[in-house]
Structure 1
Amino acid sequence: MKISFFKNFLLFLSFLIPILAFAQSKSDRELILIDKDWRFSFGHLFDTEKDFGHATGYFSYLTKTGFGDGSAAKDFDDRAWRKLDLPHDWVVEQPFSENGSFSHGFKTAGKGFPEKSIGWYRKKISIPESDNGKIISLKFDGVFRNSKVFFNGYYLGTEESGYNGFEYDVTAYVNYGGENTIVVRADASMEEGWFYEGAGIYRHVYLQKTNPIHVITNGTYVTSEIKNNEAEISAEVSVENKGNYKGSIEIIQMIFDASGKQIASVSENVNTPEFYKSNVYASKLNVKNPLLWDIENPNLYRLETQIRKDGKLIDIYETSFGIRTVKFDPEKGFFLNGKSLKLKGTNNHQDHAGIGTALPDEIQYYRIQKLKEMGANAYRCSHHPPTPELLEACDKLGMLVIDETRLMGINDYHLNDLERMMKRDRNHPSIICWSVGNEEWNIEGNIVGERITNVMQDFAKRIDPTRPVTVGISSGFRSGISSVVEIMGYNYLGNGDIEAHRNEFKQQPGMGTEEGSTFTTRGVYFTDDAKHYKSAYDQKPRPTFYSIEEGWKFYTERPYLAGMFIWTGFDYRGEPTPYGWPSVTSYFGMMDVCGFPKDNVFYLKSWWGNKPVLHIMPHWNWSGMEGKEIDVWVQSNCDEVELFLNKKSFGKKKMKINSHLEWKVKYTPGTLEAVGYINGKKVLTEIQKTTEKAEAIRLSLDKENPSKGNVSVITVEVIDKNGLHVPRANDEIMFSIKGGKILGVGNGDPTSLEKDQFIDDVSLAAITNFKEQKGSTANLPQELQNYPENDWKTAFKDRDYKNQAPSYIYKGEFNLNTISKSNIVSFFYKKIGVETVVFINGNKVNPSPEDSQKYILDPAILKEGKNTIHIVATPLQKVKDWDVMNTDPGIIQVVTPAEPWKRKLFNGYAQIIIQKEDNAKEFILSASAKGLRNANLVLKK
């Protein structure tokens, strides 16, 4: 029985958070999600002044411990920075430009845009005094890319790759019982891939607390061996000791089923690892009558590892796992739990319309469910380690996975990345294969490729001997990597002779790691190269490449091939082959970037799924083409299909397996109808009707979307007076929301240069040419005086702090490129005096009630271009001679409110992703457009 998506999503929720809370209540371990309330600002790739003066101090963070300077400093004033929640992708927020990167979707970010290639993040957290004695660490699931992390001004380390998870121990740097500052600098100036990668902290961040004796991160490894009707579970656990305890500890391993019932346990007293060392301890447990994990019934178990010291529970570590067997056979293909299964897979990158790479967890489930509905049973992570939540979705929904590392090589950089990925992911039952490379053309066919592959394969086997290793190969199939790789990964039929390779390497299993690579645009049925639109009919993309149908027929007809992975399941940003600007997304997907299906989805659904399917293409709105022949295709797995136009039959046609049917029909408005027959019995009817003009907007919660989550995916369309979807509508729709927020909008148009997100623009203007002169009295003026021009000198230069004037008058400048009544302009003052009065363009301004060092400026007193600021203040006094006094008066923040949210429909559809407010009982999404009836959608908590 197929488990419903809603049930699976509830399982997801039950595993993700309550387990952690349960563990927290019983042991010293806490894992706290700290995604909310970060501050963000752009720095600069090479201009240190624009990068907040970072790494310009006499002592840098590399020369002396704790000298994080500029925005890395603990007490840096970040009040003027933008406030946001994680996950966050700053690239998706940027406009498009022809000067942007082709491979990354022409966004104005990256090395060509130094002012948008560095992102700074800051967050303050409190850690209670009661945590003193625990091990405190920060855990990042991924930051793109080349991230430097600081804690209270202490440099923790650099992680170059944007796809690795990483962790830093901050125990020694914590201000217990007080405030602590986390700072991350991400440098996305260099690309790791040739596809859209986003930028910033686009995955989750956690604060972890453990006992000094604890299970290390990713420190368990669970395998199973099935004998008769019993599974023997091998559970390895790596325990670390960051304390001085030298006695024994008890390790308890318990297995729970999906209902929470304990079904097995074992305990052992062992010697504690030595100081700052770890030991691996292995246990055996038996599960009788195991419920196997498979794609239809993804049964999961939970291993609970407990550590007790002197009888006291000090750590609990939870591991989700499944019991199943996988096998690749060189003659018979792939087997799951001893049963032959053809891999029906897709390749996918990690971005989605409107939100880029910053996917909420619910969207991971949404996308996997979309692929499952298409009939897919396998997913290749192209071409990097995925976010952990994607693998959790695959575990819980029943999707097989090829997990892939980013780079091939034999040095620490490459092998360490591979090891981290495998140790993080090897307990996921969904993973059936490790991929250590993809299309490495420089080494694929030579001895260097052989050597690297041999090392990486053997290295992978040391970490996980239960799964095979593959490489996706595209430049010939009979030498180099392809001669030694364990599972041959064929990338495209046109790149080599698969049968010749198989005849030479008969003991080597194989599969199509990439196939198809077709170009289609959703809802377009006549190629228009001028507009960069490709017809949605399944065609050969290039002379040596094959259509989806041709590819699937080849792989399904050969039992020795395990299956194929289509390039791709979803369109993705960047790599807009075969076009360039202004195309900004790919054309390869079976679905567009929103997940709206192209017609190829129904071909795959017909032959990959197990339910009757009937689909007609194209739509039947072709005003102006009356009397012209239209190619009508029917995708179906019925035995026969009969086609009608306005009740006139065009006859029945028999369906060949793994094929489709075609008719040529002269266009006449009305009803195009297909009737499907199985064993001579009518089982399905499908119609395409000519619609009337658009009259109203329709909003609907996507039926696959988990209604219990905080994030919802909404389909936007327009309908005619009869309630029929209008397939050629391209109206611009305006949106507003109450009780929640909009995360992003999209429509699947590969040439759309519309904004993905409508957010307030926050820009910062520095105060420059800062000068001072001495005041004669400590009484501060309430009106700006005339001060002698000849008395101005550089502020704070050669200041004698033992002999200061009663007050100082400071003068500076700041530039505003534009100014309007809608702008919100604030001066964030950084204290340079005891008592202070501030004047802007000669006008006295008062501090805001909530912050005595923030001044909200009336646009009426501001000017476009140069503005003048005067600050009159009584001086700060040094307590100690070596005290460093602040000389920065502050910064000007200009907030330009965002435009209203909007998006054009593309061939009838758009998508909006919304998130409920935590305390809202319901939220209301409203949509309007010129000439159309408005729509409201109410969703309750």
Structure 2
Amino acid sequence: MKTKNFIYSSEMKKSNKKQHLLYALILIFLAVFSSCKFENSENEFSRQKLLFNDHWQFQLAENDPVSKEGINESHWKHVQLPHDWSIEGEISEDNPSGHFGGYYPGGVGWYKKSFEYDPSWKNKLVSITFDGVYKDSDVWINDHYLGKRPNGYVSFSYDLSPYLKEGTNTIRVKADNSKQPNARWYTGSGIYRNVWLQIKDKLSVTEWGTYITSENVSTERADINFQSSILNAYPENKSVTISLEIFDAKNQLVSAKSIDKTLSSNDTITIQEKLKVEKPELWSPEHPVLYTAVHRIHENGKVLDEYKTTFGIRSIRFEVETGFWLNDKNIKIKGVNNHQDGGAVGAAVPDDVLRRRMQILKDMGCNAIRTAHNPFSPEFYQMCDEMGFMVMDEVFDEWIASWPWENYQNQGKVPYGYHLEFEKWANRDLTDVILRDRNHPSVIMWSVGNEIPDQCYAEGPERLKPLLELVHTLDDTRPVTAGCCFMHLANDTGFSELLDVAGYNGGGGSVFYEKDKAIYPNRKFIATEIPHSFQTRGVYKTQTDMRSPEQGIAVPNLTKKEVFPEFSEFYSSSYDNSSVRISARDSWRRTDSLPYVAGEFRWTGFDYLGEAIKGWPSRFYNFGIIDLCGFPKDTYYFYKSQWTDEPMVHILPHWTWPGKEGKTIPVWTYSNADEVELFLNGKSLGAKSNKGKMNLSWDVPYTPGEIKAVARTDGKIIKEQIYKTAKKPSKIQVITDKKEVDANGVSCVHLEVNILDEDGNFVPYADNLISFTVDGPAKNLGLENGDPLDLTSNKSNQRKAFNGKCLMILQTTKEAGDIKVTVSSSGLESEEISITSSQSE
């Protein structure tokens, strides 16, 4: 893999002063020239990208839309995209998705949309882009078959131009998610991401047709490499001028260039140019500054096409001894794995829901996300660029093989998984993901597989090699990895040695870092998936539950007998004593202390639907450090104590345990202060040094009242936390993340519901049934409480609180007006919330 590192010396600065002055004059000239010559070009420019999500119709049916046999036209119902029909269905033990898919339904769904032809489209290229359809999609326009795309996670487009007609045109889409299980987690079903209609000139930049990289990067300057693919679909040759401009975050022109080209008829060319940016602002998680590249194609003074690409200027590299470097600064990757579902909304995740989830991670100190185990929506990468997350962009969860203990055959991980499509579609899918995502500065690595069984066999390296070659051909600026869970087998076959950076899932099946470092001294290490720790929000168990505990780092029982026997076996302890091989604390201690390990991606950031490994009646398992609602669990605060400098202290467990008076309860704190002192009802239980510690612990006989943690640094109090023993539930508290929203049909409001006692204290065991009444221009998009055993429909207007909390997500309509939400429960004081929905100017 080609690396692009650069040191810009002071001698070079001096020698280039005259060149810089000349460059500045040229830049000013180009800016003036561009604004004068093409000042009216915006009105002439023809490229449009139109959101195509409204006015779709949907029905579940097993039929052919061309012959229409079996279709009942009266069964069509209006839906707004993105749409996930599985989250709307009944959770049932009989659904063939089984524990993999959280027992949600699949099936075959049909979508159709009619739209009117616009005369301005004549002699233009009109295409439709689907950002994601799960799965096995077929698409027709005016009963003309456009094509099939099996992969449910990859964006794809079709050219509509030859088949459009004046008047009404109709798109039909089939999404077949009937063969189950086809993944190891909840996937959702249908057109669950955005759809776009794109109109552009016949001479224009192709889709995903730009490739922008930075080299020789420093705070003094950077060289920006442009590669652009340009199509001339006209029947005659065209002579054009192509201008390239770079604008900074303040929309100031910082670099420009113009070239003349002649394009042959019905041909595509690739141009490569280099521009310089002086004193660039470098992209990083702490400073996610973005630039915009603008390609314009002019013919005789008229702008035929304008294509904008957002990018960032930054340098990355992985070193054998020191791990990861960003902009010549050695940093640790503090990452999480996430699946793409959004809890209550399933796989059709609105931007507001996604942004809230990512902000929760950001507040924890997370700086990286692994897209487990498939590419995410385009909006996700845009948000990562803007918010400052680094991304391991992962493409496949399986190739062909199954695990050795499953009698090696080409049968993959699940009966109807991607292994059935790999040989035919892998190169196409991988290519499209790389082309779509390679301009995002947030993407720092490509992953071509997760726990691929092929790694265990001689065929594995031979299947890996062409994938590596393809990625390096399309993008030579980022390394390629794969998450290996049986590293000893991947080492034996040579699979791991082919990777640019070796990815260790679960420490490689065990925590093999030191052992492998001794055997493979030139290897680059990244912990792709560790730790696998479990916790249920508000649940505590003092007896340790660890699968395959790593020798020497297993977590001992916290007490001789279980203090909290009342909790279900389906629930996991929040003490960080429930995990696979290694706890969250020990995993991060190792990652942080080994300089050659670039960082870790823990499993997972959020709870996710499916992979309910304990079986019915659970619809998911508790891997996340944040629950399905977006409510942090206790381990969230462990990471915050390690990953942020914001003064903090957190106590666990809560302090409402009726019937446990006199029983000794382990009380832990997480903090980034020098020391923490614990108080019970005003009496000190002792101060403990926190330096070099992952947590502090006191054994405290339970006495109702007030428990308080005081965190100090340099002898000064930096943070306190108090829990008070709660009385019985008395009233409802509703906290909203917005009081004003846009009446655009997509904006969302999150309503966090807490059960309080008469004194306003949170009641951590409350399970009251909560009812929601919505009046005004909004709809209930989903209710959730984070309980894996609650099988209530997310579309219901009632939900029990789980350990004192639940969540409603509202979505606006396109009508302005006042929204009133009444939240009530029998025997509790209700709460009414008002929200204003307004039309944007």
What is the deviation of 1:310? Answer: 2.5
Q: Tell me how far 1:924 sits from its aligned partner.
A: 2.0
Q: Quick one: structure 1 residues 103 and 274, their matched pair in 2 at CA, closer, same or farther if it must change by over 3 Å?
A: farther
Alignment pair present for 1:749 and 2:787: yes
Residues 1:733 and 2:748 aligned together: no
> Structure 1, residues 141-176: CA drift from partner, whole Å, max 9, x if none?
010000000111111101001011110111111122
CA deviation digits over 1:258-312, x for unaligned, max 9? Answer: 122222111111111431x311111211111101110011000001111112221
Distance in 2 separating the partners of 1:23 and 1:209: 17
Match of 1:212 among 199, 202, 206: 202
**Residues 157-236 of structure 1 mapped to structure 2, 5 A cutoff:** 157-176=147-166, 178-190=167-179, 191-227=181-217, 229-236=220-227
Task: Report whether the alignment pairs 1:720 with 2:709.
Answer: no
Contact 1:583 1:750 in 2 (8 A): yes
Deviation (angstroms), 1:367: 1.5
Q: Is 1:416 equivalent to 2:431 in the alignment?
A: no
Query: Compared with structure 1, are the counterparts of its residues 307 and 354 closer, same or farther at alpha carbon in structure 2 (3 Å cutoff)?
Result: same
Distance in 2, Cα, partners of 1:37 & 1:658:
57
**Among 900, 905, 930, which residue is 2:826 paired with?**
930
> 2: CA distance between counterparts of 1:676 and 1:704?
34
1:928 counterpart letter in structure 2: S
Change (3 A) 1:624 1:157: same
- Structure 1 residue 23 displacement after superposition: 9.7
Other-structure match for 2:35: none
Cα offset, 1:24, TM superposition: 7.4
Deviations 1:417-454 (A, max 9, x none): 1110000000000000000111012x213332222222
Does the CA contact (< 8 Å) of 1:366 and 1:704 recur in 2?
no
What is the DSSP-based 3-state SS (H/G/I as helix, E as strand, rest coil) of the residue aligned with 1:363?
A: helix
In 2, the alpha carbon distance for the partners of 1:492 and 1:80 equals 48
User: What's the counterpart of residue 835 of structure 2?
Assistant: 939
| Deviation per residue, 1:321-372 (Å, 9 max, x gap) | 0000011111001011000110000000011221100001122211111111
* Residue 808 of structure 2 corresponds to residue 912 of structure 1: yes
Structure 1 segment 689-700 matched on structure 2, within 5 A: 689-700=724-735
Instruction: Assess, with a 3 A threshold, how the Cα gap between structure 1 residues 603 and 711 changes in structure 2: closer, same or farther.
Output: same
Q: What SS does the corresponding residue of 1:136 show, helix, strand or coil?
A: strand
Report the counterpart of residue 624 of structure 2 in structure 1: 589
CA distance in 2: counterparts of 1:689 and 1:473, whole angstroms: 46
- Residue 921 of structure 1 deviates from its aligned partner by 4.0
Query: What does residue 675 of structure 2 align with?
Result: 640
Change (3 A) 1:705 1:157: farther
Helix, strand or coil for the counterpart of 2:53?
A: coil
Paired with 1:931 and 1:127, the residues of 2 have a C-alpha distance of 58
Counterpart Cα distance in 2 of 1:358 and 1:24: 34
The farther-off stretch of 309-318 and 215-224 is 309-318
Q: Against the structure 1 CA distance between its residues 620 and 707, is the aligned structure 2 distance closer, same or farther, given a 3 Å change threshold?
A: farther
What amino acid sits opposite 2:536 in the alignment? T
Change (3 A) 1:164 1:528: farther
Residues 1:240 and 2:231 aligned together? yes
Q: Is the 8 A contact 2:41 2:303 kept in 1?
A: no
State the secondary structure of the residue aligned to 1:97: coil
From 572, 577, 583, give the equivalent of 1:539.
Answer: 577
C-alpha change, 1:94 and 1:125, in structure 2 (3 Å) is same
TM-score (normalised: structure 2):
0.86
Contact 1:293 1:323 in 2 (8 A): yes
CA distance in 1, matches of 2:429, 2:210: 18
Match of 2:94 in 1: 99
Work out whether 1:368 is the aligned partner of 2:395.
no
Q: Report the count of equivalent residues.
A: 743
Do 2:389 and 2:442's aligned partners in 1 also have CA atoms closer than 8 Å?
yes
Closer/same/farther in 2, CA of residues 445 and 357 from structure 1, 3 Å limit = same
| Residue 256, structure 1, aligned to residue 247, structure 2 | yes
* Shift in Å, 1:457: 1.3
Task: State the secondary structure of the residue aligned to 1:390.
Answer: helix
Counterpart residue number, 1:31: 49
For 2:262, the equivalent position in structure 1 comes to 271
Other structure's SS at 1:499 match? helix
Give 5+ residue unaligned stretches, structure 1: 1-21, 45-50, 56-67, 111-116, 759-900
| Structure 2: distance between partners of 1:549 and 1:27 | 56
Higher helix share: 2
Cα distance between partner residues in 2 of 1:642 and 1:536: 21
Superimposed CA distance per residue, residues 679-722 of structure 1 (whole angstroms, 9 cap, x where no aligned partner): 12222111111012222211111389999981122211122222
Structure 2 match to 1:507: 522
Amino acid corresponding to residue 440 of structure 2 in structure 1: H
Q: Please say if 1:613 is aligned against 2:648.
A: yes
> What letter corresponds to residue 771 of structure 2 in structure 1?
M
For the residues of structure 2 that align with 1:626 and 1:702, how far apart are their CA atoms?
38
**Residue 668 of structure 1, CA deviation:** 1.1
Asked if the contact 2:738/2:835 (under 8 Å) is kept, the reply is no
Contact 2:572 2:578 survives alignment (8 Å): no
Structure 1 residues 227 and 495: CA distance shift in structure 2, 3 A: closer
User: Residues 106 and 574 of structure 1 are in contact (CA less than 8 Å); yes or no, is this contact kept in structure 2?
Assistant: yes
What is the one-letter code of the residue matched to 1:742?
Answer: N
* Counterpart amino acid of residue 636 in structure 2: V
Match 1:677 to one of 700, 712, 728: 712
Kindly indicate whether residue 509 of structure 2 is the aligned counterpart of residue 495 of structure 1.
yes
* 1:549–1:658 CA contact under 8 A, matched in 2: no
Q: Is the 8 A contact 2:245 2:256 kept in 1?
A: yes
1:493 maps to a residue whose letter is G
The one-letter code sitting in structure 2 at the alignment partner of 1:460 is: V
The alignment status of 1:567 with 2:580, answered yes or no, reads: no
Structure 2 residue identity aligned to 1:747: N
**Unmatched runs of 5 consecutive residues or more in structure 2:** 1-39, 401-421, 542-564
Aligned AA for 2:103? Answer: K
Report the Cα distance in structure 1 between the residues aligned to 2:617 and 2:597, rounded to whole angstroms: 39
1:260-299 to 2 correspondences below 5 Å: 260-275=251-266, 277-299=267-289
Letter in 1 for 2:451: E
SS at match of 2:468: helix
Residue identity opposite 1:421 in structure 2? V
> 2:539 — aligned with what?
524
2:17 paired residue number = none
Instruction: Give me the whole-angstrom Cα distance separating, in 1, the residues matched to 2:818 and 2:385.
Output: 31
Any residues of structure 2 matched to 1:383-532 within 5 Å, and which? 383-406=373-396, 407-408=398-399, 411-441=423-453, 443-477=454-488, 478-480=491-493, 481-493=495-507, 495-496=509-510, 497-526=512-541, 530-532=568-570
Answer with 1 or 2: which has the greater Rg. Answer: 1
Once residues 461 and 644 of structure 2 are traced to their aligned partners in structure 1, the CA distance between those partners, rounded to angstroms, is 38
State the SS of the aligned residue for 2:455.
coil
AA in 2 matched with 1:268: I
Query: Match of 1:290, SS?
Result: coil
Relative to 1, partners in 2 of residues 1:535 and 1:31: Cα closer, same or farther, differing over 3 Å? same
Structure 1 residues 86-142: Cα deviation after superposition (integer angstroms, max 9, x where no partner) = 1111111111112233344443423xxxxxx10000111112223111111111001
